[in-house]
Each structure stands twice: as structure tokens, then as C-alpha cells.
Amino acid sequence: MARIAFKLCSVAWLLAAVAFLPGPSTLRAQKQKIVLSDQEKAIVEQIRKLRSLPDDERVTVTKRLAVEIHQLPPGSHMLGLADSLANLATEGDAGLETLQEVATTLADALREQPVTSAGAAGKDQSASSYATLAQLVKYEHVQVSLDDPRFAAAMAKLEDDDRSRQSADFTLADLTGKRWTLKKLRGSVVLVNFWATWCPPCRKEMPDMQALQQRFAPKGLVILAISDEDVSKVEPFIAERHFSYPILLDPGRKVNELFRVEGIPKSFVYDRDGKLVAEAIDMRTQRQLLEMLAHAGLE
């Protein structure tokens, strides 16, 4: 089955570097040499450990790393490091101040290295970085100044993606065989979530979605959690954790493609009139999910 890995393409440079740490400063990935300074190697190692930190400490470290990357000297691997950090910074509630620091660092890195990054993916790394920055601006509400047609194109693509999601409709079966059609749920607030059993950020937010299901289902909330995995993997995972909201299967990834999902988790909230009113590009905390539902009038 075609499988989409959360942020795998976006952090390919970091993963290539981490695979060789600790070790020689000369790293090889995709036939391109990566030479890291001791300072850069230390930053890579700290980024690699971010997910293991308590949430409050993770926010502090993320902001500090953004500043350290921003201060790297010319000729450094600023873009690869900034992009890697940005893709992890959106997991959970980092706060606007931290995300602004991350976005400013990434924008400046793109301004300094707009075409060929110092990462293993070369030009492709740079292209993905414009997309990452555009998502920060549009969905995390940070502000950057970057007069570059590739950034403008990335922003335009997000607008087009949202138009597709607004008009999207689908019918999928859940684990019990019940079929759910998005547009037939008018009158309810619908949270559409894309996830997978192997995705750590997905697993982290699922208990919060379960809590929301229990709290708001009597008020008209419907959560539709969509996985592209086989039922043999999804069913025992859900049974062990006793999640009660509908788990839908999209083995051909047609609905993933309809929603233009290129990384998970992703969440979209539709109000009772079927209007797309909130979306998340990454894992959300319960507080953040509550803010999303509030846009649909559910409080």
C-alpha cells in the first residue's frame, strides 16, 4: 500500500544527519556530502531529542534552538536545520512567540540560501522549506517578510488546497462497517482527522480527541478519524485503547488525496453548515482542539 510518512520528506536532511551521529563530521546522503561543524552537530542532536522532552521544556528548547540556528555563520547549514526545527515546532502548543522565532529563522535561511540548500536533498529541500514556511504563516498565524515567487506560489497552493477541502465530500466505512458521508452530516460539527497507528504525534493527540468526543457528542460533535492502513493493523490498535469515535478506513488513499494530505496528523473542522472553519497542520493539544471547535460554535 502507498504509505505517507509524517514529515519524512521535510526532515530528510535531519534524518540523514542524525543517522550518522555520533560519528565523523563528514556525512553522506543521496550522493551529496554533508559536513557539519561541532556547533551544528550539537543542534542536530538537540532537535533529534525534542520529542522526548516534557512539553514546557520542549517549547523553551525549540525557541533557543531557533535563535542558535539564526546566529550560525555564513556558509553554514542554516536552511536544513531551520526546516527540520520548523517541522517539529508545530507539534502541539509551542505558542506564538516560539513559532514566530522559528518562522523568522526559516525565512531568513531561505533568503540567504534560496535555491540550493546545504541539505542532502539539495534544491528539493529548498522547495519543501517554502511550503513549510507558508504553512506556518497561514495556519499558525506568524508573520514573515519574504519577497520570493516560490514563497508566493506556496501560499497560493495552500489557498487552492483549502478550496478543495471546502468542497470535498466522501463516503467511508468505519471499523463496524457503518458508512459515513461528510456532506450528510450537515447540522453537526465535524472534526475530520487523518492519522496512522505508526505516527507518534497522532497517537499523542488521540486521548484528547476521545475526551472531546465524550464531552461534545451530546452537543452534535462528530469525529471522523481516517487511516490509510489495513484493518488488520487499525482494529487491534483501537480495541486496545478503547477509542469510541468512528475510525474510518481509506486503504486506497482517495480521501487523503482529496484533502491533499501530505503529512499527518492533519485535522479539519466543519461547522453545522458544512463550512470549513478551522484546520491544523500537526498534532494539537486539547486546548488547541477546543479553540478549533469554538470556531464552529461549539464551546
289 has a pLDDT exceeding 90: yes
Helices (H) then strands (E): counts for the chain: 11, 9
Q: Where in the chain is the domain with CATH 3.40.30.10?
A: 168-294
Q: Indicate if the alpha-carbon torsion angle 49, 142, 92, 239 is positive or negative.
A: negative
Is there a contact between 281 and 90 (Cβ–Cβ < 8 Å)? Answer: yes
Note whether 202 and 214 are within 8 A (CB). no
The per-residue pLDDT for range 34-81, each reduced to its tens digit, is: 789 999 999 999 999 999 999 999 999 999 999 999 999 988 999 999
Average pLDDT score over the chain: 88
* pLDDT per residue as tens digits for the range 109-138: 999 876 544 444 444 556 789 999 999 999
CATH class of domain segment(s) 168-294: alpha beta
Residues 233/159, Cβ–Cβ less than 8 Å: no
Strands 189-194, 221-227: pairing kind: parallel
Mean pLDDT over residues 137-161, rounded? 96
* pLDDT tens digits for range 136-147: 999 999 999 999
Separation in Å, CA 152 to CA 71, 97, 234: 26, 23, 39
Q: Is the peptide bond before 74 cis (omega within 30 degrees of 0)?
A: no
Residues 6+ apart with CB under 8 A from 249: 172, 173, 174, 175, 226, 227, 228, 229, 231, 234
Quote the percentage of the chain above a pLDDT of 70.
85
Alpha-carbon gap, residue 146 to 193, rounded angstroms: 31
